Amino acid sequence: MFIYLCIIGLNDIILYRIHVPMTKEVCKMEPIHLLEVPEPAGSRIAVLVTVHPDDESFFHPFLLQQLWLKGWVIHVLYATKGEKGDVSVLGCDIVAANIRPLEAYAALHLVGVKKQNITFMGFVDGELAKQHRQRLVDLVWDYIEAVKAEMLITFDEGGVYGHDDHSVVGRAMQLMVRHKSFSTLRWAFFGAADPTVQDRWRSKISQIFVWPRQPTLGELGLRIEATDELLAVRMQMLKMHASQQADWHLFPMGPGDREAYLVFWLPD
């Protein structure tokens, strides 16, 4: 049995396959070459705004893959470093806020996202509802304007499945697109649970979270059906988040399932 760990160097990313069981003193690590990722051919920019390292792999992998293959440059803004996440499965003395960003770099590398296009905004994991929503709006708006992004990707107002931090980000981004003026942004995609997976996910997480009410902004205008290729990359991305492998079973997807988004068109 083995798990994955990503080490970020000054000029490269090294992925290690770590054999378990292991002790806090000894970790047997075998280096593996990461998939070579070419530079995107185009210059159109999409910005994903999410909360925790691993959200991109659970909820947005199909859209990220398709954008990358079509030549889009993808930027990712994380509200937190996922510091409240349990990383004890790794068996080593390691802090979640240190390891989870490294896992995100490795997962996003698989869909062409460069380390320099990944930002952690510094909010406190699990406490976004207590923090100033306008600061989040201003940070994201400034970033979108600075990079001249055309597309925003984030959560719907229910946070897909009722997670408080996800919902805060989803509502803040809805507030932003309704009330801010943008020079280049044209589309906002709010990730929602599609009926093809809703009942399955609900049965696994309803004891932990309150399933959200029906979202109100936009319309369910984009569905991406799972293929073997899309699912294979999703699984590869999830494997990069070795510290969170206990959660992998909570959001299963198979052939025919769909990743779904509410689509909001911004006026010219």
- pLDDT single digits (tens) 63-85: 999 999 999 999 999 999 999 88
Q: How far is 65 from 267, CA to CA, in rounded Å?
A: 27
pLDDT band at 34 (very low <50, low <70, confident <90, very high): very low
Helix axes 61-69, 228-240, angle to 10 degrees: 110
CATH superfamily assigned to domain 40-265? LmbE-like (3.40.50.10320)
CA-to-CA separations, 268 to 23, 213, 218, in angstroms, rounded: 58, 30, 17
pLDDT greater than 70 at residue 162: yes
* pTM of structure: 0.85
pLDDT at 22 over 50: no
Residues 6+ apart with CB under 8 A from 90: 3, 5, 18, 99, 242, 243
Q: What torsion, rounded to 10 degrees, do the Cα atoms 205, 209, 214, 216 define?
A: -130
* Residue 23, pLDDT above cutoff 90: no
**pLDDT band at 211, cuts 50/70/90?**
low
Distance, in Å, from the CA atom of 64 to the CA atom of 58, rounded to the nearest integer, reads 11
Report whether pLDDT(244) > 70.
Answer: yes
Query: What is the mean predicted confidence (pLDDT) over 186-208?
Result: 84
Minimal CA–CA distance to 156: which of 166, 169, 170?
170
Length of the chain: 268
